[in-house]
Structure 1
Amino acid sequence: MEKLNTLEQFAVYYRDNYSYVFQLFLDHFLISIYGVLLAALVGIPIGIWIARHSRLVAPVVSVANIIQTVPAIALLAILMLGLGLGKTTVIAAVFLYSLLPIIKNTYTGIKSVERHIIDAGRGMGMTKRQQLTMIELPLSLSVIIAGIRIALVIAIGVTAIGSFIGAPSLGDIIIRGTNATDGQAIILAGAIPTALMAILADLILGFIERLIDPLKRRRKPAIS
Structure 2
Amino acid sequence: MTGFLRTLHFLSRWDWQHEALIIDLAGDLTSEITEKIRTRFNAWRNIDPAMNTLALFVASDIDSEGVTWTQYEMPPKVVAGRMSALSKAAMDLLRSQGHELDVPDLFQTSLAPYDFVINLRSKMLGDRAVSKFKNIAEAEVSGRASKMAIVKAFVRDVQACYGSSLLLFHGDTSADVVAGIWNPQTLNPKTWNLKTAYSTAPAPGNDSTQQDRVVINQSAILNEIARLGEGLVDTIESGKVGA
Give the TM-score taking structure 1 as reference length.
Answer: 0.29
Higher-strand-fraction structure? 2
Give the TM-score taking structure 2 as reference length.
Answer: 0.27
